[in-house]
Structure 1
């Protein structure tokens, strides 16, 4: 079975760049896609609506993380199978993946819709924005199954060494969302932004079906569904989904801690979350690329190639993110004004980035090792790392420091500390995983 990019025999740096650049462009488009909602809502509906969107974002992030995390998990098995040249098995795994993703996402949609009001109340959503947040999320959930299945399509195409699909799909949906968002907001209000999102997600899925018929990288038939792959898929998908949820859960808890400082601070934290996308998405793109690349190398019994890709990713990713971090930190105050016109919010945003600063380069380092661990078929180890990163270190430390004289700055310091410690732990985990790599490669080959 041929991969679109030759990761096993091709030039390491060239293959890595060919994989990462389209994914990074897709992530940038995803950033633009998310920023469209924020920019239009903040400028057309004001601070309260933006705060409601920020509160809703916590839930949206968790749901999106489940979709992206589980898709990255199944990419482990698919990429290793492709690397081993087992076409028939890959077709069966892919058909089973899409069936399971449809069943799961529909079940989650129904569950969230039924308990949505209670969830928002449990999150201590301020009463003045509760109804707006509810209206937005109720509509957003209508499209969750669509985007869940689409994300699994992107993981499947990445496993074949084709990152271009995700870039093209995000370009189409971003343009559609940008045009439709202000129109829907004008007529419906905040929920109109959610409707624009749902419709653009449907466009994404339709494009995925069209792209599959055009490329024909795999054969998609109901007869290919095999329940014997349920356990292997769940073994990779569940830890990866939980891993993806950790940042979103942490963000929800940060919003809970920030909410004690009022609506303006909630809105400011929402701005920092949007600007951090510029810094997080390159690291996420690198991690996703490495999951596929390392997976194919492991499937082909080439651990030497896997190590070379990790080394290249650390150098290229670290330098790139250092440059972007400096730009965001320097212009954070001015960038805040694009979302909400508040001098106090701009001051908070600027202070946030000045404190976190070097943490974003460390995040890239951690992400590279996460991609390596996932590609080696160690999603449980990646999950443990993310649990320590976001839950064990960040949340308790933030809860302690926010009650000190540091106030909200204590939350920002806790975030920086979590970046530092997690990068150290990631190195330790990587060294440990490599010691057992020969045995793992042998078991996959056999």
Structure 2
């Protein structure tokens, strides 16, 4: 791999290594947030509440696909990290080449399925008739960006496996700037559909830039001749549970959006505004998950579980402190932040209640993601998936439905989210302790045999 800085997570200071990967990842996520916020600001202030609601009901599918991208490519990243840690360059090259072919085919298949299933998708989230046509046309265009999203996510995941997140940061900067320039122009001519068209064009240009850079620098080696069916099976065994794992929050969001729709368009707009602001609190946890996954993968490949535990510990300490500060700021200023998106008083009240109720849940989410990052890095994405099924599906969805029918009303949905975050943190810590103790015993037994 040429021309890009790499990190050996088995050596050096744990805090410095973790921050070196985490900080560019976090900035990348915040730039992605700026990308989405830029869309919502234009929609809310120029096109109004109905357009914002139309975008909101479209978001579950977009979030689900984003999650699939991160899950599939994250599963690939686990195998690449472990191959790097074990210094098996031949296997690493086969994983990269085989996985690229898989990602390309998968992205095309999903894009076709989503385009054909738009009506079913919008009916499933109980889309109000008054915004149905707008939501449908918006999605029809936005779905065209799915192939580009998957390919970029693939390259970013491979780079992270080598300990490099600068590639992702620079790429996101380019895409965000392109979108910021294109949004007002396309909205002027095409309204809400212009937002989707600007996204497609920005991501298309980004992939062209990535391809040109790849051809010039060959920072990774992709050769179709290295495609290996056995490696493909291994990739699928990691990518599928990782995909479902990352998709579960989006699936949960779909149900919460559906329950929210029962309270009217104002409630939908409130949820849409809150979830935009909420990315400020969720993205640090996602970035930490990715950073720890790459670090733990290398440590696991190099047979050093104790080092991996250090990365998890510092992930909780550093990430928990950061999220605590962000949460306090969001609670204090959520009403004012909501006005940026063109929210009225009723919508801003919903947003304020949302963050006051969930509050400590965001710190719990950082703990959960630090644990899941290590579990994924250890090559156990299926275990992480089962944990997420527990608190996103078994805990959150039934509880949201139940509490929303009580006197709590809409706030009952937010309490369900809070409780699920707490349950997630407890369950992930308990499982993480069990799996790390078992891995340490295995390593001790291997050393004795040698």
TM-score (norm 2): 0.96
Could you tell me whether the CA contact under 8 Å between 2:56 and 2:272 is conserved in 1? Answer: yes
Q: In structure 2, how many angstroms separate the alpha carbons of the residues matched to 1:305 and 1:7?
A: 9
In structure 1, the residue matched to 2:42 is 40
CA contact (8 A) 1:93 1:229 kept: yes
| Structure 1 match to 2:148 | 146
Q: How many residues align?
A: 446
Matched, 1:314 2:316: yes
Q: Which residue of structure 2 lines up, in the alignment, with residue 210 of structure 1?
A: 212
Counterparts of 1:133 and 1:443, CA distance in 2:
58
Please, which of 294, 297, 315 is the counterpart of residue 296 of structure 2? 294
- Give ranges in structure 1 of 5+ residues lacking alignment: none
Name the CA shift for 1:163/1:441 in 2 (closer, same or farther; >3 Å).
Answer: farther
1:276 CA displacement: 0.7
1:353 to 355, 377, 382: 355
Match in the other structure for 1:284: 286
Aligned twin of 2:270: 268
Asked if the contact 2:306–2:440 (Cα under 8 Å) also holds between the matched residues in 1, the reply is: no
2:122 alignment partner in structure 1: 120
Tell me, in whole angstroms, the C-alpha distance in 2 between the residues paired with 1:105 and 1:442. Answer: 42
Aligned position for 2:180: 178
1:96 equivalent in structure 2: 98
1:369 and 2:371 matched: yes
Equivalences for 1:4-403 in 2 at 5 Å?
4-403=6-405
- Aligned-partner Cα distance in 2 for 1:286–1:417: 22
Q: Is the 8 A contact 2:403 2:413 kept in 1?
A: yes
| Alpha-carbon shift at residue 6 of structure 1 (Å) | 2.1
User: 1:204 offset after TM fit, Å?
Assistant: 2.3
How far apart are 1:226 and its partner, in Å?
1.5
Shift of residue 444, structure 1, vs aligned partner? 12
CA distance in 2, matches of 1:232, 1:211: 29
Task: Give the stretch that moved more between structures: 21-30 or 201-210.
Answer: 201-210
SS of equivalent residue, structure 1 residue 161? coil
- Distance of 1:107 and 1:439 partners within structure 2: 43
344 and 79 in structure 1: CA distance in 2 versus 1, 3 angstrom threshold: same
Q: Relative to 1, partners in 2 of residues 1:301 and 1:126: Cα closer, same or farther, differing over 3 Å?
A: same
Q: 1:301 to 1:22 in 2, by over 3 A?
A: same
> Does the CA contact (< 8 Å) of 1:76 and 1:292 recur in 2?
yes
1:91: how far off?
A: 1.2
**Gap change, CA 1:371 and 1:142, over 3 Å in 2:** same
Aligned to 2:429: 427
Find the aligned partners of 2:170 and 2:16 in 1 and give their Cα distance: 21
After superposition, what is the alpha-carbon deviation per residue over 1:146-192, rounded to whole angstroms, capped at 9, x for unaligned? 11111011000111111101100000000000110111111011111
What residue ranges of structure 2 are gaps of 5+ in the alignment?
none
Question: CA RMSD of the aligned region, Å?
Answer: 1.8
Distance 2:228 2:207 in 1: 23
Q: Within 2, Cα distance between the matches of 1:413 and 1:159?
A: 37
Q: CA deviation at 1:211?
A: 3.6
CA contact 1:139–1:194 (8 Å) conserved in 2: yes
Quote the offset at 1:439 in angstroms: 7.0
Deviation of 1:122 (Å)? 2.6
Classify 1:113/1:186 alpha carbon distance in 2 versus 1 (closer, same or farther; 3 Å): same
Q: 1:49 to 1:358 in 2, by over 3 A?
A: same
Task: Verify the 8 A CA contact 2:357 2:418 in the aligned structure 1.
Answer: yes
- Residues 185 and 275 of structure 1, relative CA distance in 2, 3 Å threshold: same
- Cα contact 2:61–2:121 (8 A) shared by 1: no
Q: CA deviation at 1:228?
A: 1.6
TM-score normalised over the length of structure 1: 0.97
Instruction: Check 1:133–1:441 CA distance in 2 against 1; reply closer, same or farther (3 A cut).
Output: farther
- Are 1:49 and 1:190, in contact at CA under 8 Å, matched by a contact in 2? yes
